[in-house]
Amino acid sequence: MEQDTDIDLERMSDVDNLMWIVERNPLLRSTMTAVTMLDEAPNRQVFEEKFTQVTMAIPRLRQRVVANPVSIAPPRWEVDPDFEQDNHVRWVDLEAPHNSIDHVIALAEDIAGTPFDRTRPLWEFALVAGLETGQAAFISKLHHSIADGMGSIQLMLEIFDLERAPGPKAAPPEITANPKSQVERVKNAILHERDRQADAMRQTLEVVRSLPESPTDRVRLVADTAASLSRAIAPSTSPLSPLMANRSSDSDFRTLEIPLDELKAAGKAAGCKLNAAFVAGIIGALRSYHDLHATPVETLRMGMPISTRTDDDSATSNSFAATRIEVPMTIDDPLELMVRIDELVVEARHDPAIALTSAAAGVMSRLPKRALTGLFEKAMKGIDFSASNVPGVPIPVFLTGVPVTGQFPFGPLSGSAVNITLLSYLDTAYIGVNIDQAAIPDGDVFHSELSTSFGAILDLA
């Protein structure tokens, strides 16, 4: 498909459009939040000037979503003609006694829970100074339609520097708004759909050419793919946990820090990688939490994004497939549990439906918005917990010359009872826990179980 050179004609992908549509239900918001700890507060003027450059270097940060009521194509990203940096970047000075790390996390909770103004670019940054430790914090909030977890890491590398005092960068080009008339928008939408249909036909022909020569093998492949796609889009209307069945829009943020090498070594003890040890730690906590409440369960449904990102994908894109995996809660041996987790994730990665994610999104995004939102509400509510492992940078980074000391990621609940996301930085695995307070009202208890479970996993290292 031809790519538009005019950034005001860029369009949401079908996957992005789905996330945009289903947010009619607040429980399905797809907001990504992170709290980056800094060694100290940066110079305020330098900080603000930095983000003037950043928003020009990353045009998506100056673009808003514009839908055309009569358009048959997904919404466009258009430069906001009224863009004001102060609407998106703010400076917060905390004062004693409300200036602890816990107060920063609570502020991030509030920021994450505030809906985006959908008439403006979908992001917000806050620099929090005045912490009792002498540190500062940088809170970033991005709508998932801007980027996925891996894409957000690439975006952050535009914000953070690899050196304390990097050399001057070439000034990015000025960005000016070029609003389209309704006639231009409709015309572009028709051309976009024409090109997309042609592209879909080319892809279909490529798939047909790649089918096995044997008629039997062809039938088996088509049947397996159809069955896989049916499982992927079939709604699971209720969670498997009777304990964590309620849902709300009230979040409770918690954090954990784990030595990265020890978590990797624990996975290696089972012949697996870090991800299996990470998920095993979560499962152990969920199991003990359910046992503590005298509500044991045999299986829970885990939502996990599978990256489909390639070197050609831009940072401001979503390249992942959302999978649902039923994980066992009855395996006592943590080594055996990690092996089983690894098998289930590998199976999910090779599921034929992964390759059809974009096509399925294109079909579903054409459904009436109310019906689509209802379908996703049922499907997402059936997820008991979400887990995401995002590889971070293994070298020190800086924000306007100030060293970054850690970064806690908080993924969206999107209908699940809890989202637990791991982001590695240097020698530490930083874990952000986003708890739905209606599903898990005793967050302190769950956090304690999580700490204990990961402690047991690390004992295997």
Residues 125 and 242 in one domain: no
On whether both 241 and 155 belong to a single domain, the answer is no
- pLDDT(73) > 90: no
Q: Crossing angle, helix 443-458 and helix 274-292, to 10 degrees?
A: 130
Confidence category of residue 258, pLDDT binned at 50, 70, 90: very high
Cis check: omega of the bond before 296, within 30 degrees of 0: no
User: Is residue 169's pLDDT more than 60?
Assistant: yes
Looking at the fold, whether 152 and 295 belong to one and the same domain comes out as no
335 domain residue, yes or no = yes
pLDDT of residue 188: 75
Residue 303 lies in a domain: yes
447 shares a domain with 298: yes
| Co-location of 11 and 110 in the same domain | yes
Using CA of residue 398, residue 402, residue 406, residue 412, what is the dihedral sign?
Answer: negative
| Tally of residues, the chain | 461
Is residue 159 over pLDDT 60?
Answer: yes
Domain harbouring 245, CATH code: 3.30.559.30
HSE-up of residue 456 (Cα within 13 Å, Cβ side): 19
Task: Indicate if the pLDDT at residue 325 is higher than 70.
Answer: yes
Q: Among the three residues 138, 159, 180, which one is the final residue of a domain in this structure?
A: 159
Both tokens of residue 441? 């009202």
Residue 114 is assigned to a structural domain of this protein = yes
Burial of 442 (0-12, 13-18, 19+ CB in 10 A): middle
Q: Which domain holds residue 272?
A: 237-394+410-458
Query: Please, which pLDDT band fits residue 210 given cuts at 50, 70 and 90?
Result: low
pLDDT of residue 75: 85
Top pLDDT among 439 and 374 is at: 439
Q: What is the mean pLDDT of the chain?
A: 83
Percentage of residues of the chain with pLDDT beyond 70: 77
> Is 299 part of any domain?
yes
Please state which of the ranges 109-123, 158-172, 276-290, 300-314 shows the lowest mean pLDDT.
Answer: 300-314
> Confidence class of residue 203 from pLDDT cuts 50, 70 and 90?
low
Give domain status of residue 180, yes or no.
no
> What total of structural domains would you count in the chain?
2
Cα 121 from Cα 321, distance rounded (Å): 25
Q: Does some domain include residue 211? A: no
Distance separating alpha carbons of residues 325 and 322, to the nearest angstrom: 10
Do residue 326 and residue 414 come from a single domain? yes
Q: Are residues 271 and 376 in the same domain?
A: yes
The CATH number of residue 88's host domain is 3.30.559.10
Dist. CA 241–CA 298, nearest whole Å: 9
CB 420 within 8 A of CB 390: no
Range among 118-122, 187-191, 298-302 rated most confident: 298-302
Whether the pLDDT of residue 152 is over 90: the answer is: no
Mark whether 268 and 368 lie in a shared domain. Answer: yes
> In the structure, what pLDDT confidence band is assigned to residue 189 with cuts at 50, 70 and 90?
confident
Final residue in a domain of this structure, among 104, 135, 159: 159
Give the separation between CA 440 and CA 307, rounded to whole angstroms.
28
**pLDDT for 425 beyond 70:** yes
pTM given for the model: 0.84
Domain limit, last residue, from 96, 129, 159: 159
Give the up-direction half-sphere exposure of residue 239: CA atoms within 13 A in the CB hemisphere.
22
Alpha carbons 52 and 410: distance in angstroms, whole number:
25
Domain assignment of residue 312, yes or no? yes
What pLDDT score was predicted for residue 461?
85
- For the record, the structure tokens of 261 come out as 């090498």
Gap between the Cα atoms of 404 and 380, Å rounded: 35
Which range, 130-134, 183-187, 364-368, is most confident? Answer: 130-134
Residues 220-246 have a mean pLDDT of 66
Q: Using pLDDT thresholds of 50, 70 and 90, give the confidence band for residue 380.
A: low
Question: Quick one: tokens of 62?
Answer: 């100056």
pLDDT tens, position by position, 81-115: 999 999 999 999 999 999 999 999 999 999 999 99
Binned at pLDDT 50, 70 and 90, residue 153 comes out as: confident
- 140 and 44 in a common domain: yes
In this structure, is residue 369 part of a structural domain?
yes
Task: With cut-offs at 50, 70 and 90, classify the pLDDT of residue 145.
Answer: confident
pLDDT at 220 over 70: no
The confidence score (pLDDT) of residue 3 equals 39
